[in-house]
Structure 1
């Protein structure tokens, strides 16, 4: 089985270079890597010249090295959050590993060979991107790709498709609902899409999700139907409340920013701005910014929400906070369109951290191996998580 060359070797070299502790042999290895690609040298210079990165490296150097990595991640999460959104792919992975190296001596880490052997790669998998399909009122389906184009519905509504976004422009704005048509946006595993509804509301639709909506809003309410997950920024219209139906739950707003996640039986509504009223089987609860309402069965539970975590997917991030491996791998499966299986007894360990969703699958699994100790194998579209490692 062919092994992918680990980025951990380069991370270790960069970390020791930044600390001025490279041996002559290591200096030669680093220089060889820098000469292989101009982007490598640009990456190194960005670490050395970036004042913010230097401050973070100094901060990590002061962390108690006797603490477990999970505790280090919790202590330093506010620092890492400032850096990682600025980088993508290999750069983000290398920097996070560098920060870990600086917080703990090399001798306390697994060797690069140990990490590489724990992540077996027959083939790598690229991250998801803007992919979706649009079902028109007559049942025809349009595959949405990167090609800019425009189509019209039977009622004259113009639908512009450009740069991973749909934009609806109603042919007329009267309140007559006799000719309203319904469209449906669907995203596959590994797909996400944005849209601008006829009223000006913005919607980000996550992987394995769908949204049904009218080509124009009329009557006394603006009603859409969701499966999966979406983030909404609703245009204010007090005379016509905006409602989302999802798994038997109704979420009603006038104008606000909120996320709904409903991949399983539970419906989680997290509010960033404004006000939301959640209804299920006659029971109603209102939530304010920073709160979440979770409906499951006939209950609605309101509690404080981690809004950064709830909205991370929309901003291109995986955000884990006290999550177990199965919860993390559910997100990985949806984004990379892979099937997950497990060997051995699952670890009760809870993991915290964040990685950009633009990283390749192998990079995400290497990170997870580093912090969890679990082994991983990629074979086609299947990923095996090995807790026996």
Structure 2
């Protein structure tokens, strides 16, 4: 017979999370512990609200199953509470990454055009302007106009206690890129309109980060602690690899430059070799193809490279790169295919000049931060 104290009213917990009300006396000891863990993780991931769909359902299903296989209540609860914190982190993170499109749009529409570092403490630091040094009990950060270097404090592991990592968030707006060296020495460069959620120190047997938008990774080799990148519906597992991840369009596209990369979703799994590109759709299916890796990594090397690409795709990328909005007077013009290969100029005018020279007979005008494209026949 099930112990009454072990019963979890999941609907009640979700209602409390959504309505932000305090714990009523009717909560069991287990429910109170779970609610505290859920609220703490939400704060650490800088969420506005708790997920009501995929993340919550996965968390509930997994923890219920754990309860079935446990005989001793006292031992069960503490083992389960610790596991719940980890499962909650995974479930919440998956939900967060499934909202990548809304998150990228939120970054793009920010009134400020600043690179923002959101600390787990709630502090917000503007980066990319000058040399800065930040030191506290958990981390030492050295930053300049090009990037930031994280070094974990010796005290960090004692604070995190190996259960919950302390997550910071780096947000890069349209018109900018920014580099970050993680505490393990791995390097990440974020493209415009992108976000990285990462721990101040890597605890446990995995190194895990979360990406919205586009990022180029150069992972430090460590066979004992695989590096896992969560993005959209998939996760990429590596030991020592360089690769690009892009979630700007629906689904995910990842291109391997060197090393080996395992791409997996809830329904599929594939191992990539250099020059392979994996495309994950919203249903979790994975397809692969051989590509010129430079098509995906040109932005990282300071170039613009589009090979027989549609004008619509090209202008969306240019909009993020230079912080402009494009307006097509005729939607059919977005389907025109072009090839561009050039060093990325500092202003968009030079790029538009090159597009005009392709013989497409387009009339392109700039008004403020809006570029209008129409037929010039």
The offset of 1:346, in angstroms, is 1.5
Paired residue total? 259
**CA shift in 2, pair 1:177/1:291, >3 Å:** same
Is the 1:192–1:207 Cα contact (8 Å) retained in structure 2?
yes
The offset of 1:376, in angstroms, is 0.3
For residues 23-172 of structure 1, the aligned pairs below 5 Å read 132-153=115-136, 155-172=137-154
Question: Which whole-Å CA distance do the structure 1 matches of 2:186 and 2:349 have between them?
Answer: 36
The partner residue of 2:343 within 356, 381, 384 is 356
For residues 225-244 of structure 1, the aligned pairs below 5 Å read 225-244=210-229
Residue ranges of structure 2 left out of the alignment (5+ in a row): 1-112
Partner of 2:371: 383
**TM-score with structure 2 length normalisation?**
0.66
**Structure 1, residues 321-364: CA drift from partner, whole Å, max 9, x if none?**
01011011011110111111111331644211212223421111
Partner of 1:339: 325
SS at match of 2:307: strand
Matched, 1:311 2:294: no
Partner of 2:352: 365
The offset of 1:373, in angstroms, is 2.1
Residue ranges of structure 1 left out of the alignment (5+ in a row): 1-129
**Structure 1, residues 64-96: CA drift from partner, whole Å, max 9, x if none?**
xxxxxxxxxxxxxxxxxxxxxxxxxxxxxxxxx
Of structures 1 and 2, the one scoring higher in RCO (CA 8 A, sep 6+) is: 1
Partner of 1:10: none
Provide runs of 4+ in structure 1 moved above 6 Å. none
**TM-score with structure 1 length normalisation?**
0.64
**Structure 1, residues 145-191: CA drift from partner, whole Å, max 9, x if none?**
321011124x3310111241110011128594246311000000101
Is the 1:339–1:383 Cα contact (8 Å) retained in structure 2?
yes
For residues 297-308 of structure 1, the aligned pairs below 5 Å read 297-308=283-294
Is the 1:343–1:388 Cα contact (8 Å) retained in structure 2?
no
**CA shift in 2, pair 1:239/1:178, >3 Å:** same
Partner of 1:37: none
Partner of 2:77: none
Partner of 1:104: none
Partner of 2:86: none
Is the 2:234–2:265 Cα contact (8 Å) retained in structure 1?
yes
SS at match of 1:328: helix
